[in-house]
Chains A and B, each alone.
Chain A
Amino acid sequence: MAEVMERKGEVKALEGDMAVAEAMRQINPDVVAAYPVTPQTEIVMTFSGFVADGLVDTEFIPVESEHAAMSSCIGACSAGARAMSATCGPGLELMWENFWIASGLHCPIVMAVVNRALAAPLNILTDQTDMMASRDTGWLQIFAENHQEVYDNFIQAVRIAEHPDVMLPIMSGHAGFVLGHTLGRLEVLPDEVVKEFVGEYRPAHSLLDVDHPKTFGCYDDHHYYFEHRYREHVSMKNALRVIPEIGQEFGKISGRYYGLVEPYRLDDAELAIVIIGSGAGACREAVDEMREKGMKAGMLKVRCFRPFPADEIVKALKDKKAMATMDRAEIFGAEEGAGPLYTETCSAFFNRGILANIIDYVYGLGGRDTVPSEFCDIFHELSKIARIDEIKPPRIRFLSLRE
């Protein structure tokens, strides 16, 4: 069928990292402070080129480390600037203590994360350990499946983070190399449309408002610290409402609507795979293949991990006979080595009094490819569980791990 919908952007072939740089150029932030680290380097490299060519008004700070990058963003944001960064893997871990400061001060910093495994052993390829390890830092976290989502998520991230009911920093993640360094087709919106969508950042309080002097980041003792940190929880809760609202608004300018989760052939499905990020592409193919063979297979892609969309996940999956969560990260020492998506999904079901057949697959660590046939094998496994309505241990499995 010919495209009936009017195309709202220009079709381009861009690498995922360049899609971030392109979105950043269109947003034209006040400050970008970043340090190059593989496989994120292309973002910094491309964007600093835009700065050198005078295409943006951004103050680009070539910092000496990621710790300094995040510190600079916090300072800039407190001064009233729209501040951004980009990082991945070990660079992200070096920012760690500052994540808590950024969220505690409610700095709506927008950061692209090109998901990379952590050393040792040294590995620069993709998995989600970097972002998952920082899931408790008070940052919002969204993940992209493909090049279009890399671009779309980054633009929406600005509006989500800066929403008055949220005001929290946000990580917009995409897979290193698989998305970051490969060319993909995407529609890039006109500059003025993006500019209008993100609007101007007008913080309620800023240090450069010299007529109203104030202090950021002062000592907060036991009488107040608890109440201030609780405010982050409230913002996170608000974000569950705000993220789909911004996703719908973005749909109006792009034709692409976003929520917290995205179902694929899930309505009448009996077996489901729950997955985050680029792996959803291969999983989608497996769903189609199993459907052709008559199996009622479906997929739930989790776009937003922080805040965790427990209601949406349970609502989408509660009538399924068996399901598998896919974790491209591990929580070492968790029961049987379960990943974060599994533990939080199970807790969401338990808290709603629903017993479900859920197994977990830790997969793709250190950039190992996961192909459609492996997802088909998982559907066959789920089919067995559904037939006997019982999970034979282990509940936590390590996909294609060699013994």
Chain B
Amino acid sequence: MALPGWKQLVRGGLVLEPGNSVENKTGTWRYQRPIIDWGICTHCMLCWIYCPDSCFMVENSKLTGIDYDHCKGCGICAHECPVKAITLIDELEARKEEEK
């Protein structure tokens, strides 16, 4: 994708559209991926509270998954999970598996 030139950019780097950080796919920074073992998870929501990037998706008071577009793989969720339902796996290995 071609990035905009200086003529197209807002002077001073101001951000004029509020809430646009969702467009910044910080998930590309990740080198380890958290995965949830649904057989163990109790839906206590501690991961949802601790996640610094609000990546835990919830529906009807139940955890439904992780937003990998924005998860940076910091591992706080795995560290905090009281029942050890979250493990971190190697991101590159995981991608290779997906491509198979």
Using a CB–CB cutoff of 8 Å, the interface residues on chain A facing chain B are 104-106, 167, 205, 212-218, 220, 223-225, 227-228, 230-231, 234
Contact = CB atoms under 8 A, between A and B. Distances in A.
Contact of B16 (A104, A205, A225, A227): A205
Contacts of A223: 3
Majority SS at the chain A contact face: loop
Contact of A213 (B6, B13, B18): B18
A212 B16 contact: yes
A228 B9 contact: yes
B39 interface: no
Contacts of A230: 6
Nearest to A101: B12
A221 to B, nearest CB: 10
B53 to A, nearest CB: 15
Contacts of A234: 6
B16 A220 contact: no
Nearest to B15: A215
A318 B72 CA distance: 60
A106 B13 CA distance: 10
A281 to B, nearest CB: 39
B45 to A, nearest CB: 29
Contacts of B4: 227
Contacts of B18: 213-215
9 contacts: A104-B13, A105-B13, A214-B15, A216-B14, A220-B13, A223-B3, A224-B9, A227-B6, A231-B11
Interface in B10-43: 10-18
B9 A231 contact: yes
B12 A216 contact: yes
Q: What 4 pairs between A and B have smallest CB-CB spacing?
A: A215-B15, A227-B6, A213-B18, A106-B12
Residue in B4, B10, B13, B16 whose Cβ sees the most chain A Cβ within 10 Å: B13
Contact of B3 (A205, A213, A224): A224
A167 B14 contact: no
Given A218-B13, A231-B6, 20 more contacts: A105-B13, A106-B11, A106-B12, A167-B11, A205-B14, A212-B16, A214-B15, A214-B17, A215-B14, A215-B15, A217-B13, A224-B3, A224-B13, A227-B5, A227-B6, A227-B9, A228-B6, A228-B13, A231-B11, A231-B12
A401 to B, nearest CB: 44
Contacts of A228: 6, 9, 11-13
A105 B15 contact: no
Nearest to A226: B6
Contacts of A231: 6, 9, 11-12
